[in-house]
Structure 1
Amino acid sequence: MDENELRTALRATITQHAEPPPMESRTALVTARRAARRRTVLACAGTAVVVLGVTLAALPGQGYLGGGTGWAPAAGPSAPAEALPTAFPSGAVPTEENTKPSWPAEASGDATADSGVHYQHGVALLEKLIEVAPAGYTVPNGTGPEDIPWRYHQATVEGDHWAYLVSVPLVKDGRTGQVLVEVHEPGNDLPADVCELATSFWGIGGACEKPDIGGTEVGVVTGPSGRDGVDQWVAYRHPDGTVVFLAQGLSTSGEGGTPLKSLPFTVDRLVELATGGLFK
């Protein structure tokens, strides 16, 4: 296909198909960031832009550009070629300034805070997580494979609220597991039902249980062994709407090493930490 044939095919596509609805960039970034957490806790920052690129890879009912399958115009009667549109539905010409989302000043260029009160809150959550490491375990510092820090913290804007993710490795007898906390401020759109909340964590799923702890609703899940570096977690929604996920794993997120022989925390201890005020 030469340049003229490609231009004709593009024009035919525009004239024969309804214009797709505009993408809400903030929603796309939030969705991608949550998916990135599921893939790996230590490499989730900065992956949200993948979603924006994927949406441009194909047009409805057409072949893929650059995919080796050629271009397949839509079937049906041909339409007269028209000039390509040059404006948004609103009449505004797309520019870098009016298409990118507006992030808070403390997040320089994306949804991840690199300074300010939310960044510092992430640092504080990391310190608290280190403090509650069980006796007999050490929390290494420095970096692991690919120079990724072992001790990790992040604060991100998710829609109308902030979310925090912190994780640390736990080492005992030359074996390495991990514990992590994910906190969502009030105003989040996470499920209200405690078991729906628990099984929504990173999309892992699993069987949810509701232990009887004096009327406090908590969801406890023991997931597929080792998936995404977590084996068990607790989900709890505080009365003010703050959501806390506290998870532990026998190994880290695909970083190699010898797994722990047993999980570091008991379920009772996980519930105690998740429902207390330590990680709010």
Structure 2
Amino acid sequence: MNEDDFRVSLRGALDSSTPPPPMSPAVAVATGRQAVRRRNLVAGGAGLGVTAVVAAVAVAVAGGGSGSAAPQQVGAPPSVAATAGSAPPTAPATLPTSPAPGDSKEVWPTGPNGQPQQDRTARAGHKFDQGEQLMRDLLAVVPAGYTALDNPGTDQLVSSRMSQAQYEGKVAGKDAWSYLAATQLGKGGGVGQLLVTVYEPGLIAATGDACAVAGGFWTRPASCRLVTTAGVTVGVATGGPGHGYDQWAAYRHPDGTVVFLAQSKTDDRPGGGDQGLAALPLPEDRLAALVVDERFHIKAS
């Protein structure tokens, strides 16, 4: 990663559609990491030096400035339009801490070979297997009439599918992970997207109702409403122009695990197709039902 790439990545993390990181360095690092991860997926999954970028975000935020705005809530943007009867989100809980600037280099979790990983992403072992299983579970819910595309991608074109298990940091002294699976969906010559991402307890700090949880996704929702399914309440959010995903559902399990299931009629990345889908693949009630499905409930281990 050269100096120009670093500068572009840092600017992307700071200028993304997520709210500006709060003044707390720990919260800023987690917020920056989510922003960069979203941009990496939009760019096709190419590595953009996540660790360096979020560390730089932490330095910038910790330094503050006389013109700094008041801290904003992570995962509960002020633009969230909750439905009547939904309580306003409360202050977020403390996110897992990351090394402060100047601290010794973070040691990655130990892989199956007994050695620390080379970066945040698991490439073998139990966590990697859970990411692969998440992809199989996502493919199993592709609605009838749609095809989960399977193009490997190139240096210039994105791959149609992506799965990942990523180490996010320490929560209560234990390693905490997130998992992601995404696929392009094709129908009638159009191409859209379906994605599920799962966060172990303590990684999504927003508290309050399910719409506050929905605000913890990678992009700020334009609106959100509460939907009841299978006896529980989930948040179903919509994105505005340029948000990457048109709609997503969010649910926090009683154990603290948070699941987001997102869909879009288009994929404007290189290799995403010139034409979008005529409609979203999943109707709202199905999206809400699937986000609470136990197959997407990856329990921390």
Q: CA deviation at 1:39?
A: 2.4
1:219 paired residue among 227, 230, 235: 235
* Counterpart-to-counterpart distance in 1, 2:159 and 2:36: 17
Match of 1:51 in 2: 54
Match of 2:192 in 1: 177
Helix, strand or coil at the partner of 2:185: strand
Match of 2:220 in 1: 204
**8 Å CA contact retained: 1:177, 1:252:** yes
Q: CA deviation at 1:143?
A: 2.4
Helix, strand or coil at the partner of 1:32: helix
1:100 to 2:105 alignment: yes
Q: Using structure 2 for the length normalisation, give the TM-score.
A: 0.65
* Counterpart-to-counterpart distance in 2, 1:219 and 1:279: 16
Q: Which has the higher strand share?
A: 2
Tell me, which stretches of 5 or more residues in structure 1 are unaligned?
1-22, 62-93
**Closer, same or farther in 2 for the Cα pair 1:55/1:235, shift >3 Å?**
closer
Residue correspondences, number? 221
**Closer, same or farther in 2 for the Cα pair 1:46/1:252, shift >3 Å?**
same
Match of 1:3 in 2: none
Q: Using structure 1 for the length normalisation, give the TM-score.
A: 0.70
RMSD between aligned residues: 2.8
Q: CA deviation at 1:44?
A: 6.3
Match of 1:231 in 2: 246
**8 Å CA contact retained: 2:28, 2:58:** no
Match of 2:11 in 1: none
**Which amino acid letter does the alignment assign opposite residue 160 of structure 2?**
W
Match of 1:278 in 2: 295
**Which amino acid letter does the alignment assign opposite residue 156 of structure 1?**
Q
Aligned 1:249-268 pairs, distance under 5 A: 249-255=264-270, 256-257=272-273, 258-268=275-285
* Counterpart-to-counterpart distance in 1, 2:28 and 2:106: 11
**Closer, same or farther in 2 for the Cα pair 1:44/1:239, shift >3 Å?**
farther
Deviations 1:15-64 (A, max 9, x none): xxxxxxxx97x87764432012332523264531223457789x989xxx
Match of 2:32 in 1: 32
Where does structure 1 differ by over 6 angstroms across 4 or more consecutive aligned residues? Answer: 54-57
Match of 1:90 in 2: none
Question: With CA pairs under 8 Å and 6+ residues apart, which has the higher RCO, 1 or 2?
Answer: 2
Q: Which moved more, 1:105-114 or 1:142-151?
A: 142-151
Q: CA deviation at 1:130?
A: 0.9
Q: Which moved more, 1:207-216 or 1:194-203?
A: 207-216
**8 Å CA contact retained: 2:201, 2:256:** yes
* Counterpart-to-counterpart distance in 2, 1:44 and 1:273: 29
Q: CA deviation at 1:196?
A: 1.1
Match of 1:148 in 2: 158
Q: Which has the higher helix share?
A: 1
Tell me, which stretches of 5 or more residues in structure 2 are unaligned?
1-23, 66-101
**Closer, same or farther in 2 for the Cα pair 1:27/1:192, shift >3 Å?**
closer
Q: CA deviation at 1:207?
A: 1.0
**8 Å CA contact retained: 1:32, 1:47:** no
1:135 paired residue among 118, 133, 144: 144
Match of 2:92 in 1: none
**8 Å CA contact retained: 1:176, 1:251:** yes
Match of 1:19 in 2: none
**Which amino acid letter does the alignment assign opposite residue 118 of structure 2?**
G
1:158 to 2:172 alignment: no
Helix, strand or coil at the partner of 2:227: coil
**Which amino acid letter does the alignment assign opposite residue 211 of structure 2?**
C
* Counterpart-to-counterpart distance in 2, 1:60 and 1:279: 39
**8 Å CA contact retained: 1:199, 1:207:** no
**Closer, same or farther in 2 for the Cα pair 1:127/1:45, shift >3 Å?**
farther
* Counterpart-to-counterpart distance in 2, 1:196 and 1:28: 18
Deviations 1:90-118 (A, max 9, x none): xxxx8xxx721011012622111111111
